[in-house]
Amino acid sequence: MTLTSSSHTDPSYRRLALAAVFVLLQLAVIVICVQIRQIPLPRPPESDRIEQMWRQGARGEWQPVTLPDHRPTAGLTPTITTYRATFAWSPDQAKTPWAVFVPRFTTTIEIAINGSTIEDTVRDPSKRRPDRNTPVLAPIAESLLKPGLNEVTVRLQVWGPLEGYLDSLYVGPDAQMRRAYDVRRTLFDTLPLILAAWQVTFATLLGIIWLNRRHESIYGYLAMATMLGVVQHFAGLPQSAIVAGLLGAMGPLEAALMLHYMLLLTGRRIRRRHAFAFMPGLVIIAAAFLLSPEHLRIVYLLLGPPSIGLLIAAVWIVLLAAVWQARRHAIYLATIFTAVLSCWALDVLTLNNMIAGERIFIGRPSYSLVLMALGIWLIWRFVQALKEADGFAAALVQKVTEAEDKLRANFAREEERARSEALLAERTRLMRDLHDGLGGQLVSIVALSEQPQPSGQAIGEAARAALKDLRLVIDAMEEIDGDLMLALASWRERIDTQLRAHQMHLDWTIRGPSGLPIFQNLRSWHVIQLIRLMDEVVTNAVKHSGGKHVAVTIETVDDTAGRPAGRITIQDDGHGYAADQTGAAGTGRSGTGRGLLNIRRRAALCDIDLVTETGPTGTRIELTLPAEFPSQTADSRSGKI
Amino acid sequence: MALADSQVIQPISVLIVEDDAPTRQRIVGALSNTADFNVNQAASFTEAYSFLAQTCPDVLLTDIQLPDGSGMDLIRRMRQKSDKTEIMVISILGDETSVISAILLGANGYILKDAFPADIADTVRDLLKGHSPISASIARFIVRRTQSRESGAPRSDLNTAKLTAREIDILWGIAKGFSYADIADHLGISRQTVPGYIKNIYRKLEVNTRGEAVYEALQQGLIRL
């Protein structure tokens, strides 16, 4: 498992340097693990140690043995080996209580003094787990001791996957053994319990995160792996084959979960083939239910430990690949895994008695520490993501605010632009409206006043016409919402005055309750054109008809499409106009003719249907207003005419 | 005519305030044709003010823009002095801003500067009979304010709250060009009473507190019509 095997193809020095540093780091970690494993655990004084014991053989004979002693296992069937030894006790030592201390044993032991049992670890499930390095300290009741030699008997009961083992036996004053016992109990009993509790907490946290963020299955994998670790911690040694199978399947399942976790953590995607990692564990579970205990043991031995080894190796390869891709967090994780693998390797060496020192297993607690490290890592990552999300949200809020400000500024600018455009359009319109009427009339006044003999009456009439037009333009600027009646009302006042000045009479008739319908798209220029048109009609009647009455009738009729259309009829009782004066464009030179041309032009501009009837009894002009006034401006249309 | 002359023991005193001499002469001429009127004239605010200090005319006709003051101020002082004097503003266009402002301060009507002499005399006589003149555009303006008050949208200082539904209907009719006869027929009232309604409407629009504040606000454009 070296990292430099294929690195020659990569020209990057940086990558090679990184690989070298990584390898050195892993070696350092392995050395550190070995060193930690070598740290001697405290023991009571050597004077209390009993090394030489008698062991009862299969046929009941007693053989001398030197501790530590190893015994073979017979699987689930327990085998019992009995050891005995003697120690001296004198009544003057009665002031201090005595105890028996066994630092390490597998699987369970029963301790008796002079034939009376003082401790049996079978009763305490947590002390019979062979992978825990649990010590036992059994106080000796003073009444059991007798002056002189006393006999201590140890019955070692062996079952399960591991061979039996009995470390040294210490008998002496309780106080001398208490320190060694307390240190070991803290390390191998209390600490694992704390770690297990911690694992439960982490598994819960990760599980909650996963349940709320299902797409982030990485949390789910680690939560389940952690949970399996907790179950294994609290489960006692199995009594039935099914429970044994379930417990045995947990290791491979946990390793498979770990592999998935690592794949996700290093940025890979989970593929369908990755599910095969769960196969060994599932097969073991199936075997537990379907096969006999003997076959289960074979299946377990074939699939259990090897698959764990393979999966852990796969995890390590995944991590190494990530390291190769220069992912910094992979270096951190790979280093942790190197530590765990080292510990497990040391355990294997211990198991096969290939390593000096006490028979202490450090794989399991180191794995617990790894789970903690991974959990912390993951939660750290989660919190970072939350922080990022917060930062992102804050940035977003700021961006939105900025965008809003910009939009507001744009809007204000646009509004300002629209306002100035509207102002310009208004100015253009006003100019056009004034030019058409008021301007011309004022010029006419100037011309009239400069004549050799200016006619006051002519000037007055022109000035009145100019004032009338000014009022019309002002009136037309007001919004009337398509209600032409409002504009006609003001017009009525103006022509009423005009007619009265010429001793003529206005008959104003509005038919129907409202006269004209509402015109949806009536614009002020329509109003001005219409009113000027009608002004010309009335002026013609005043100047040329010779009549005394002008009748204006306003009504609503149906147009050809059946829609309501307004009609305005203006009729005088004069003598009518000669036919040649009402003829086609270009022929009329008199005031009447020009007036009629103007009337036609304005009617055409607004799509007004104009009917002129003239005869000796008077002239009748009928204006049928369109249901919809043309939307084009007068300018664009006037070009066509 | 002889009978009418004998009945007029005291001719109606009129004060015309107008700075433009031809226009003033024109209006004076329009009212001097008959013996009904005792016409006085003033060409400036100061002149008019000193005249009003001595006597109280039956009718005051005043231009708005005078070289040394405002016709509005004159209307206000006249109204403060007497409730009986009929006040009319002389307007070039008969636009809402000048006419309604004058009505707020107590005027009863308006005449157009270019009105024909006969029309001027008729208008003054009508006013003395209690018939205030109104144009379609002014009627429209007042009705619009009653609508905006109901919709609550644009604030207006023109208090139309006191107007009755009938008065508003009459204003609508005028705004749409219906004759008084048509309006009276529609509403089922006597034709002769319609002009009286107008004067009533003007009185209701008049700002009751004839103090400096209203005048100042009008001058500065703080009052929104």
For chain B, domain boundaries: 2-128, 136-220
pLDDT at res. A585: 41
Contact assignment for A489 to B114 by CB distance below 8 Å: no
Confidence of residue A128 (pLDDT cuts 50, 70, 90): low
Q: How far is A392 from chain B (nearest CA, A)?
A: 43
For A405-410, the CB contacts below 8 A with 24+ separation are: none
Q: What does the H/E/C string look like for A398-431?
A: HHHHHHHHHHHHHHHHHHHHHHHHHHHHHHHHHH
Nearest to A497 among B116, B136, B137 (CB): B116
- Position A534 confidence tier, pLDDT thresholds 50, 70, 90: very high
- With cut-offs at 50, 70 and 90, classify the pLDDT of residue A7: very low
Write out chain B residues lying below 8 Å of A469, CB-based: none
Residue of A nearest to B185 (CA): A513
Q: Do A471 and B94 touch (CB under 8 A)?
A: yes
Residue A513 clears pLDDT 50, i.e. is over it: yes
Residue A118 at interface with chain B, using a CB cutoff of 8 Å: no
Q: What is the pLDDT of residues A575-598, one digit of tens each?
A: 887 654 444 444 444 556 667 888
CB burial readout B172-203, b (16+ within 10 A) else e: bbbbbbbbbebbbeeeeeeeeebbebbbbbbe
pLDDT at residue A340 above 80? yes
- Judged by DSSP in three states, A203 sits in helix
Q: pLDDT: is A638 or A428 the higher one?
A: A428
Q: How far is CA A391 from the centre of its chain?
A: 13
DSSP assignment of B173-185? HHHTT--HHHHHH
Asked whether residue A81 carries a pLDDT value surpassing 70, the answer given is yes
Give the contacts of B136 (CB within 8 A, at least 6 positions apart).
A486, A489, A490, A492, A493, B174, B175, B176, B177
Kindly report the number of other CB atoms within 10 A of residue A207's CB atom.
17
In this predicted structure, the answer to whether residue A622 has a pLDDT above a threshold of 90 is yes
Could you tell me the two tokens for A347? 């355990």
- What is the location of CATH 2.60.120.260 in chain A? 46-185
Give the tens place of pLDDT for each residue, A439-480: 888 888 888 888 888 888 888 888 888 888 888 888 877 777
pLDDT of residue A3: 45
Contacts of A151 (CB under 8 A, 6+ apart): A84, A85, A86, A113, A114, A115
Interface test with B, best of A490, A496, A502 (most B CBs within 10 A): A490
Q: Which two tokens stand for residue A330?
A: 């992979």
List A residues 549-588 in contact with B (Cβ-Cβ < 8 A).
554
**DSSP character string of A427-472:** HHHHHHHHIIIIIHHHHHHHHHHTSSS--HHHHHHHHHHHHHHHHH
Of B93, B114, B140, the CB nearest to A486: B140
As a whole number of angstroms, the distance between CA A119 and CA A130 comes to 17
A376 touches chain B (CB under 8 A): no
CB distance A106 to A116 below 8 Å: no
B11, B73, B23: which is closest to B48 by C-alpha? B73
Helix extents (H) in A146-190: 174-185
Widest pairwise Cα distance in chain A? 168
Per CATH, is B2-128 categorized as 3.40.50.2300?
A: yes
Question: Which pLDDT score is estimated for B9?
Answer: 59
Does residue A506 surpass a pLDDT of 90?
yes
pLDDT by 10-residue block (mean), chain B, 225 residues: 50 91 90 86 92 91 89 87 89 81 86 87 89 86 76 60 86 89 89 85 75 62 60
Residue B17's pLDDT is: 94
d(CA A6, CA B70): 104
Give the mean pLDDT of chain A. 83
- How far apart are the C-alpha atoms of A349 and A355, rounded to whole Å? 6
Q: Cβ A470–B175 below 8 Å, yes or no?
A: no
pLDDT in tens, A367-406: 777 777 777 777 788 888 889 889 988 999 999 999 999 9
On chain B, the residues whose CB falls within 8 A of the CB of A488 are: 176-177
Residue A641 has a pLDDT of 34
In this prediction, residue A578 carries a pLDDT of 66
A497 at interface of B, judged by CB pairs closer than 8 A: yes
The answer, yes or no, to whether residue A213 has pLDDT greater than 60, is yes
Note the CATH architecture for domain B136-220. Answer: Orthogonal Bundle (1.10)
Size of interface A-B (CB pairs under 8 A): 54
The pLDDT value recorded for residue B157 is: 62
Reading the block at residue A415, the tokens are 């509004």
Judge contact between A565 and A622, C-beta under 8 A: no
**Longest Cα–Cα distance in chain B:** 58
Q: DSSP letters of B80-100?
A: HH-SS-EEEEEESS--HHHHH
Residue type at position A444: S
pTM over the 0.80 mark: no
DSSP string, A358-376: -----HHHHHHHHHHHHHH
- pLDDT confidence band for A563 (50 / 70 / 90): confident
- DSSP label at A156? E
For A229-271, the pLDDT digits (tens) are 888 777 766 667 788 788 888 888 888 888 888 888 878 888 8
Is the pLDDT reported for residue A6 higher than 50? no
| Statement: residue A83 has pLDDT above 70 | yes
Distance CA A591, CA A571 (A): 18
pLDDT tens, A278-295? 888 888 888 888 887 778
8 A C-beta contact, residue B88 and residue B108: yes
Say if CB B79 and CB B106 are below 8 A apart: yes
Backbone angles phi, psi at A359, to 5 degrees: -85, 80
The pair of structure tokens assigned to A65 is 């043995």
- Which is more confidently placed, A340 or B3? A340
Chain A hits for B182, CB-CB cut-off 8 Å, are 510
Structure tokens at A438: 């008021």
Nearest by CB to A510, from B114, B118, B182: name it: B182
Q: For strand B86-91 and strand B109-112, is the pairing parallel, antiparallel, or unpaired? A: parallel
Contact yes or no for B44/B68 (Cβ under 8 A): yes
Residues A548 and A587: beta-carbon distance below 8 Å: no
Dihedrals phi, psi of B188, to nearest 5 degrees? 70, 40
Q: What integer pLDDT is reported at residue A194 of this predicted model? A: 87
Name the packing angle between helices B71-81 and B212-220 (round to 10°). Answer: 160
Q: Report phi then psi at A47, rounded to 5.
A: -60, -25
Q: Which residue of B has its CA nearest to A510?
A: B178
pLDDT at A419 > cutoff 50: yes
Mean pLDDT (whole number) for A194-216 = 87
**CA A385, CA A440: separation in Å to the nearest integer?**
78
Write the ipTM: 0.84
Q: What pLDDT sits at residue A583?
A: 43
CB A118 within 8 A of CB A139: yes
Secondary structure string (H, E, C) spanning A554-619 = EEEEECCCCCEEEEEEEEECCCCCCHHHHCCCCCCCCHHHHHHHHHHHHHHHCCCEEEEEEECCEE
Other C-beta atoms closer than 10 Å to the C-beta of A491 total: 23
Please state the CATH superfamily assignment of the domain spanning residues A481-638 in this structure.
Histidine kinase-like ATPase, C-terminal domain (3.30.565.10)
**Residue A409: what residue type?**
A
Task: Residue window 121-140, chain B: list those with CB within 8 Å of chain A.
Answer: 135-137, 140
CA distances A265 to A144, A240, A289, B4, Å, are: 61, 38, 35, 116
Is A488's CB within 8 Å of B177's CB? Answer: yes
Instruction: Give domain A46-185's CATH superfamily.
Output: Galactose-binding domain-like (2.60.120.260)
A76, containing H or E segment = strand A75-89
b/e per residue, A588-611, with b = 16+ CB within 10 A? beeebbebbbbbbebbbbbebebe
Cβ contacts of B114 on chain A, cutoff 8 Å: 463-464, 467
Q: Give residue-wise pLDDT tens across range A150-186.
A: 999 999 988 777 788 888 899 989 888 899 999 998 9
